[in-house]
Structures are given as structure tokens and as C-alpha cells.
Amino acid sequence: MSKRSDLITQITTNLSGHSTFVLSEELPFESGGTPLFEKNMNTVYVDEEELLVEQLYRTLDQGNVNQTTTTINAYLSTDAKNQLSDINTVVANLLIARNAITSVTDSNSDYETEITDDVITYTFEYNFITV
């Protein structure tokens, strides 16, 4: 299974106690110039995996040891005027979903918020490093 699939499975589990929020397995495409996560409030969208392969070091036999960083973004939009009381718990549950990805050297997650009109958009970034 892919890291994206594993992440989606864990996010679904982590959000199961929050009936206001759902997860879409669709990619966060745009419809009519507006991203789906802005049209469908309180729905989490997980983007495709982005891979970055870098040479970590060269071995004595001229081989390479590479480090691969897999980055996955997730998006969630909510109403800024009527902020839900459990949003902090939801954000925490989305951040710790990274722990479901195994066989990695390191993993981290972070998020940013952006307010446009009366919509708060949370952009989550998950990074998984393997050697």
C-alpha cells in the first residue's frame, strides 16, 4: 500500500469520533476555479505523494545511498465565523495521523492556516523520510 492510502486510513480512524468532519478519498481538484476543499467545508482532502530523492552519500565502491522524502499535503476548510468547538482536537488528530506510516527513518507533520473571506483553510504537510 502507498503512504497516501495508509494516511487516509489513519485519518479516517482519527476522525471517527468527530461526526462533523469527513474524509474524501478524492484528490483536491478544482471545480469551477474553486478547490473542492473550499466548496465542501469540513471535508479533509489528501493530495498525491510528492517524492524527492537526494544522494545522502557515496560509498567506497562508488555506489549511492539515497534519501527519499515523501511529502503529502492534506486540506480542510471550515467556516471562520462559526468555528467548531472541537477544531483543536481535529487538528491534533490530523497531525498525529503520520504515526501510522511505518518503515520510515523519520516523519513529521505541520500545518498552516489561511483565512479568505469567511473561510479558514488548514493545510497539513506530512513528510516521511526513508534511506
pLDDT at 1 over 80: no
pLDDT single digits (tens) 57-101: 888 788 888 899 999 999 999 998 888 889 999 999 999 999 999
pLDDT at 13: 94
Domain enclosing residue 69, as ranges: 3-130
Number of structural domains (the chain) is: 1
pLDDT at 49: 95
Query: CA distances (Å), 34 to each of 78, 81, 111, 116, in order?
Result: 15, 20, 21, 12
- Domain CATH number, residue 16: 3.30.2000.10
Query: CA distances (Å), 100 to each of 10, 12, 19, 49, 75, in order?
Result: 6, 12, 22, 16, 18
This prediction has a pTM of 0.89
Q: Do residues 65 and 56 make contact, with C-beta atoms less than 8 angstroms apart?
A: yes
